[in-house]
Amino acid sequence: MHCLVQNCRMRCLLCLLLCVCALPSWAAHGYALWDDFKYAPGFSHFDYVNPQAPKGGELRLVSNQRTSTFDKYNPFTIKGSAPAYLSELMFDSLLTGSLDETATAYGLLAEDVQVAPDRLSATFRLRANARFHNGDAVQAQDVKHSFDILNGPFVSPGVRSALEDVAGAEVVDARTVRYRFKKPNRELPLTVGGLPVFSHRWGAGKPFDQVVMDIPIGSGPYKIGPVNFGKDISYVRDPAYWAKDLNVRQGTANFDRITVKIYKDNTARLEALKAGEFDLMRFFSAGDWARRVTGRKFDTGELVKAEFQHRLPTGFQSYVLNTRRPLLQDVRVRQALGLALDYEWMNRQMFYGAYQRVQGLFGNTDCQAQGLPDAAQLALLEPWRGKVPDSSFGPMALAPRTDGENSLRGNLRKAQALLKEAGWEYRDGALRNAQNQVLELEMLDSNEGSTRVVSPWARNLEKIGVKLNFRAADYSLYQQRLQKFDFDITSLAYGGTNNPGQEFADLFGSKAADQEDSGNHSGMKSPAVDALITQMVSAKSKAALLPACRALDRVIAHSHVLIPQWSASTHRMAFNAWRLAKPEAMPPYAPGESWAIETWWAR
C-alpha cells in the first residue's frame, strides 16, 4: 500500500490509520490555476456549443502545414511530418480546457483530480468507461506509459522542458495515477492533465522513434479513415466513442468525417477553395485576404468571408537573432537591426492595415509589461543589476515607430550611432569591425515568398552598411538547420499564453540554449532570466505571478534578441455557408479553425 500523503515514509499501523493510505475522497471536477471555475460541478455542457447539434456529414479542410504531405502517423517524434490535426482528433487527455476561460480544465479521461495541499502531487481517478479505439480500457498504466514516452529521448526537448519539474508518474491502482512534482508549481496539474494519453500497445514495444506508420491507439472522437498519400487524409468519427455523452463533449465532434486535403502551395490552396474543393480555410496573408478571396462562389453567397474577433494573447511572432553567432552577440548591434525595420510603412503598403505590432512576450494579457516597473518588479530585478541591460529598470522597451514624431531616417541615425559605439566603421566599401569582419548576415526561411517582406528591411539595413541576405531553404533542410541552431536570423511565430510557465525555460532558459532542437533559438543564456522564469513558475498566486512575468518581459525586450513582427486580433476565415452551420458566437479563446472542427456541424 502506498501512502497518498506527500513525503510520508512510515510503514506501520499508525500510517495506515492516519496517513489516508486508501484512495482520497474524490470531489474535484477539474482544476483551476487560481481556483476560479466558470462551470460548477454537474454542468451539462459548455456555453458556446449547441448541445442539439446534429451529427453527420463531412467537414473538408485544407492543410496549412509547410510540408506538402506527411510521412508518419506519430505526431510526437522529432523527425518527419504527421498529418494536420491528428493529435487533436485522436488523443484524449486527463483534463480538457474550455474555450471561454483561461487557466482552467475539466475532467475528460479523469473523473476527478486531487492536488495535495503541499502541491507536490496531483492524483487523477480515471473514468471506468474510458476506452481506447481498440476497445481496451484506459488505465493508469497507459497514462504512466504516455508520460514516460513523452518525457523520453525520442520526443522534442520542448516537451521534456515543460515536464522538467515532474518527478514521475505512479500507478496507484488500475484506475488511479499520481504525478509527483519536484517542487510546488500551480501550473503542473494543468500541464500533466493536458498530456495526450495513448495505449501502451501502440507500437508493440518498439523503440518510440521506430513507431512511425503504426496506427495510433488513442481514445479521441476520431480514428484514421481513408488515406490518399500526397492528396488527403480522412478522420472518421468513432460511433462507439466512449465520451460522446460526457458534458465536456456535448455539442462537439459533430461531423462523421473530417477530410484534410493537401496542396503543394498557397496558390493551389486558394484556387481549390474558390472551386469548392473544401469547406473552410483560415487566412494568414493580408494580401490574399484583401485582394484574392473573390470569385463566383463568393458572389452567390456559397462561400463567405468572415473575421471573428478573439481575446487570445497576441503571441510574439518575431525575427529571432541567434546570439550564438559572434556578429550578433553585442546588444547594440541587435538593437540597430530592429531600428531599420519600418513596420508602419509595411503595414500600410503590404498588409492593408490588417495587423498590429507585437509588443513584448505577453501582449493582450495581464502579464504584459508597460511603462515603468513597479516596486514588486524592481525587487525582482534589483539583485541582477549589472547583469541585465540597465534599460530594464526604465520604461518598457517599445518597438521603434516611423510615424508621428518618429521617422525612418531618425531611426537609422540611431542605428548608425549604436553600430559605431559597438566598434563598427564603414571602410573599404563595407561596415567592418576591428577584426576587419564585414557585418553580413543571412535571413533563413522555408518560404520563398517571404522575401517580399524581408526585402524592405534589407534595403533599409543596406543604407547603414549592413548586408542581409535572404536564404529560402527546403523545409526539411530548414528544420535541420533550426534544430542545430545553424542560422543568423529566422522568423518564428510563438503562441501566446495567459498563464506562462515552464515552457519559457525551453524558450529562453540557459540549459535549453545548449540542447539541440530546443525552443531557445535566440541562444539566450542569463542567470537572471533563469531566476525570473523560476519565480514565475513557482508563483503561488496571481499577485506573485504578475511581477515575475512582467520583469521577464522587460529583460527579454531590452536584450533585443527578438525583433517584434505583427499579429491580428481576428481569425480571418472563408467557409462554405451552404454546407456548414455554426454556433451563434465564437468563444473568446478559440484558436482559429479549431472552433469549427470542435463545434460546427453539417447542414
pLDDT of residue 475: 84
Other beta carbons less than 10 A from residue 237's beta carbon = 20
Do 340 and 455 touch, CB atoms closer than 8 A? no
The whole-angstrom separation of Cα 505 and Cα 25 is: 35
Residue 281 within any structural domain of the chain: yes
Nine cell digits for residue 55: 451529427
DSSP labels, 5-59 = STT----SHHHHHHS--S------SEEETTS--SS-TT--S-TTS-TTPPP-SEE
Residue 465 CB contacts under 8 Å (≥ 6 apart), including other chains = 419, 424, 426, 430, 431, 439
- Show which of 170, 190, 210 is a domain's final residue: 210
Question: Is 527 found in the same domain as 435?
Answer: yes
What are 557-600's pLDDT values in tens digits? 999 999 999 999 999 999 999 999 999 999 999 988 999 999 99
Task: Please check the confidence at residue 4 and state whether its pLDDT lies above 50.
Answer: no
Q: What are phi and psi of 567, to 5 degrees?
A: -145, 165
Residue 173 within any structural domain of the chain: yes
List beta partners, residue 307: 572
- Average pLDDT for residues 29-39, to the nearest whole number? 92
Of 549, 543, 547, 538, residue with least CA distance to 119? 538
What are 324-366's pLDDT values in tens digits? 999 999 999 999 999 999 999 999 999 999 999 999 999 999 9
Residue 374 within any structural domain of the chain: yes
592 sits in the region (left: phi over 0; alpha: psi -120 to 50; else beta) called left
Question: Is 551 found in the same domain as 574?
Answer: no
Question: Is 442 found in the same domain as 337?
Answer: yes
Question: Is 597 found in the same domain as 555?
Answer: no
For residue 131, what is the DSSP state? Answer: B
Residue 528 within any structural domain of the chain: yes
Q: Which helix (H) or strand (E) holds 480?
A: helix 475-483
Domain region containing 293: 263-310+569-602
Q: Which helix (H) or strand (E) holds 336?
A: helix 331-339
Confidence of residue 79 (pLDDT cuts 50, 70, 90): confident
Nine cell digits for residue 377: 518588479
Task: Please check the confidence at residue 11 and state whether its pLDDT lies above 80.
Answer: no
- Average pLDDT for residues 475-482, to the nearest whole number? 91
Do 123 and 176 touch, CB atoms closer than 8 A? yes
What are 165-175's pLDDT values in tens digits? 999 999 999 99
Task: Please check the confidence at residue 253 and state whether its pLDDT lies above 90.
Answer: yes
Q: How much is the CA Rg of the chain, to the nearest whole Å? A: 25
The whole-angstrom separation of Cα 417 and Cα 458 is: 19
Question: Is 544 found in the same domain as 443?
Answer: yes
The whole-angstrom separation of Cα 110 and Cα 97 is: 13
Q: What percent of the chain has pLDDT over 90?
A: 83
Question: Is 492 found in the same domain as 353?
Answer: yes
Query: Which of 19-33, 151-165, 504-518 has maximum average pLDDT?
Result: 504-518
pLDDT of residue 156: 82
pLDDT of residue 16: 28
pLDDT of residue 64: 79
pLDDT of residue 429: 86
Do 581 and 601 touch, CB atoms closer than 8 A? yes
Mean pLDDT, the chain, as a whole number? 92
pLDDT of residue 459: 97
Q: DSSP 3-state assignment of 442?
A: strand
Question: Is 200 found in the same domain as 57?
Answer: yes
pLDDT of residue 237: 98
Residue 532 within any structural domain of the chain: yes
The whole-angstrom separation of Cα 170 and Cα 147 is: 10
**Cα–Cα–Cα angle for 135, 93, 540, rounded to 5 degrees:** 155
Do 44 and 247 touch, CB atoms closer than 8 A? yes
Distances (CA, A) of 485 to 69, 305, 543: 25, 39, 36
Task: Please check the confidence at residue 13 and state whether its pLDDT lies above 80.
Answer: no
Do 218 and 133 touch, CB atoms closer than 8 A? yes
Q: DSSP 3-state assignment of 280?
A: strand
Residue 121 within any structural domain of the chain: yes
Question: Is 491 found in the same domain as 585?
Answer: no
Task: Please check the confidence at residue 285 and state whether its pLDDT lies above 90.
Answer: no
Nine cell digits for residue 161: 522542458
Whether the full predicted model's pTM is greater than 0.85, yes or no, is no
Nine cell digits for residue 283: 487566412
What type of residue sits at position 468? Answer: L
- Average pLDDT for residues 194-210, to the nearest whole number? 95
Q: DSSP 3-state assignment of 429?
A: coil
Question: Is 540 found in the same domain as 487?
Answer: yes
Residue 338 within any structural domain of the chain: yes
Do 554 and 312 touch, CB atoms closer than 8 A? no
Task: Please check the confidence at residue 3 and state whether its pLDDT lies above 70.
Answer: no
The whole-angstrom separation of Cα 377 and Cα 368 is: 12
85 sits in the region (left: phi over 0; alpha: psi -120 to 50; else beta) called left
Question: Is 206 found in the same domain as 156?
Answer: yes
What are 90-141's pLDDT values in tens digits? 999 999 999 999 999 999 999 999 999 999 999 999 999 999 999 999 999 9
Q: CATH number, domain at 102?
A: 3.40.190.10
On the 0-12 / 13-18 / 19+ scale of CB atoms within 10 A, 340 is buried
pLDDT of residue 35: 85
Of 522, 286, 560, residue with least CA distance to 399? 560
pLDDT of residue 67: 55
Residue 385 within any structural domain of the chain: yes
**Cα–Cα–Cα angle for 127, 244, 172, rounded to 5 degrees:** 15
**Cα–Cα–Cα angle for 471, 472, 475, rounded to 5 degrees:** 135
The whole-angstrom separation of Cα 182 and Cα 167 is: 5
Give per-residue burial for 136-156: e unless 16+ CB within 10 Å, then b. ebbbbebbbbbbebbbeebbb
The whole-angstrom separation of Cα 119 and Cα 115 is: 6
pLDDT of residue 448: 86
List beta partners, residue 95: 107
pLDDT of residue 68: 60
Do 113 and 189 touch, CB atoms closer than 8 A? yes
Q: Where are the alpha helices (DSSP H) in 496-581?
A: 503-508, 510-513, 527-537, 542-559
Strand 222-228 versus strand 176-181 pairing type: unpaired
- Domains of the chain: total: 3
Question: Is 478 found in the same domain as 333?
Answer: yes
Question: Is 407 found in the same domain as 322?
Answer: yes
Task: Please check the confidence at residue 18 and state whether its pLDDT lies above 70.
Answer: no
Task: Please check the confidence at residue 432 and state whether its pLDDT lies above 60.
Answer: yes
Of the listed ranges 11-15, 257-261, 583-587, the one predicted with least confidence: 11-15
pLDDT of residue 28: 76
